Amino acid sequence: VVAVYGTLSDLLSVASSKLGIKATSVYNGKGGLIDDIALIRDDDVLFVCEGEPFIDPQTDGRPHEELTGSHTDWLTLNVGGRYFTTTRSTLVNKEPDSMLAHMFKDKDAWGNKQDHRGAFLIDRSPEYFEPILNYLRHGQLIVNDGINLLGVLEEARFFGIDSLIEHLEIAIKNSQPAEDHSPISRKEFVRFLLATPTKSELRCQGLNFSGADLSRLDLRYINFKMANLSRCNLAHANLCCANLERADLSGSVLDCANLQGVKMLCSNAEGASLKGCNFEDPSGLKANLEGANLKGVDMEGSQMTGINLRVATLKNAKLKNCNLRGATLAGTDLENCDLSGCDLQEANLRGSNVKGAIFEEMLTPLHMSQSVR
């Protein structure tokens, strides 16, 4: 067992000293001549000689050529009209279970499938075959500029070069451009809106609009589920029946926005401004903000008749002069909320937390059940 450093000459010098011979050639375990130290891998078993042909110690001393059917014979391939000259050992030894190995392990494997020059005919792409042949020669994946790696991968699969397939899949993955997570600008989004037919469902699910100015845009029925809309300007935007489920609206400005029938289940609107918003749909479709995080929001003067705020968090929110008639506030956290001037007639406050909440100057007297905390 020796450590391999430096050049091939250094390795031959170490081998000569260890074995007491004048080493001139190094072979791998399958009889392949090693001409570059970079081709040696950890735990490789190497064979060193003074110049004689490779002899496998497990074959009773018979020459390698006898065992493999003259694998060192030179041959020419005609691949899609382009000629390649190589040896049988190159096509057989590296990947013995591949299609190429089965094609050429016997001398007459191809029969009469030869052109007028005696080259073996292979009806495949030559530009994709060349990297595969070079890989079989030296074990390195080298692809020239302008060659599509997907084409080489397809050829590797066709010929059954299993060890190369993994290299190519990694190379293809590394060659892909990095995903662009930069926020979408107003200009880009408006261009996108204009290019989309009015009857088509527009899905913006999971997209990044962070900090974008989307004010006064018609965003009705758009799917913004799980989108990043933090710090966006959505003032006066029409979000009627939009899907904002689990969207991030933290720090956004939605003043005077139309939110009729909006879906904001489990959305995060912490610290957002929703002053003067309209959640009330004349057709009876109720806005749904169940489970939403509305900590510290400013919703002063908003129209929220029949809104669903069940188990939402409105701690420290400003709800002054809001119309919450018939709203569902069951289990809602209203701690330290400013509800002065609100219309809470027929609102459901069962199980809600109103600790520290302000109810001064209410338009309708509030009748709390014992279940209100």
Give the Cα separation of 305 and 282 in Å (integer). 10
Contact of 273 with 301, CB cutoff 8 Å: no
Domain co-membership, 162 together with 283: no
With cut-offs at 50, 70 and 90, classify the pLDDT of residue 342. very high
Give the Cα separation of 130 and 122 in Å (integer). 13
**pLDDT tens, residue by residue, 199-229:** 667 889 889 999 999 999 999 999 999 999 9
Q: What is the DSSP letter of 29?
A: T
Give the Cα separation of 303 and 148 in Å (integer). 59
- Per the domain annotation, does 332 fall within a domain? yes
- Per the domain annotation, does 292 fall within a domain? yes
Least confident of 55-59, 113-117, 345-349: 55-59
Q: Please provide the average confidence, as pLDDT, over all residues in the chain.
A: 85
Query: What letters, b where the CB count within 10 A reaches 16 and e where it falls short, cover 222-251?
Result: bbbbbbbbbbbbbbebbbbbbbbbbbbbbb
* CA–CA–CA angle 167, 168, 170 (5° rounding): 70
Domain co-membership, 193 together with 335: yes
Count of domains for the chain: 3
- Per the domain annotation, does 63 fall within a domain? no
- CATH number of the domain residue 124 falls in: 3.30.710.10
Contacts of the segment 37-44: beta carbons below 8 A, 24+ positions apart: 37/4, 37/6, 37/7, 37/8, 37/11, 38/140, 39/138, 39/139, 39/140, 40/4
In this structure, the number of other CB atoms found within 10 A of the CB of residue 78 comes to 20
- Per the domain annotation, does 366 fall within a domain? yes
Higher pLDDT, 307 or 61: 307
Provide mean pLDDT across the span 339-352.
93
Q: Is 47 exposed, middle or buried (0-12, 13-18, 19+ CB in 10 A)?
A: middle
- CATH number of the domain residue 333 falls in: 2.160.20
* β partners of residue 293: 268, 313
- Per the domain annotation, does 279 fall within a domain? yes
Contact of 309 with 259, CB cutoff 8 Å: no
Domain co-membership, 191 together with 128: no
**Both tokens assigned to 145:** 């500029």
Least confident of 162-171, 206-215, 284-293: 162-171
- CA–chain centroid gap for 15, Å, is 48
Domain co-membership, 160 together with 270: no
The position carrying tokens 């260890």 is 18
pLDDT value for 65:
44
Task: Examine the fold and report which residue of 149, 175, 201 is the final residue of a domain before the chain moves on.
Answer: 175
Domain co-membership, 162 together with 199: no
Task: Examine the fold and report which residue of 147, 175, 203 is the final residue of a domain before the chain moves on.
Answer: 175
Domain co-membership, 187 together with 280: yes
**Both tokens assigned to 222:** 């758009």
Task: Examine the fold and report which residue of 120, 152, 175 is the final residue of a domain before the chain moves on.
Answer: 175
Contact of 287 with 304, CB cutoff 8 Å: yes
Domain co-membership, 108 together with 156: yes
**Widest CA span in the chain:** 107
* Residue range(s) defining the domain that contains residue 23: 8-50
Domain co-membership, 156 together with 228: no
DSSP 90-110: HHHHS-TTSHHHHHHSSTTTT
pLDDT value for 180:
57
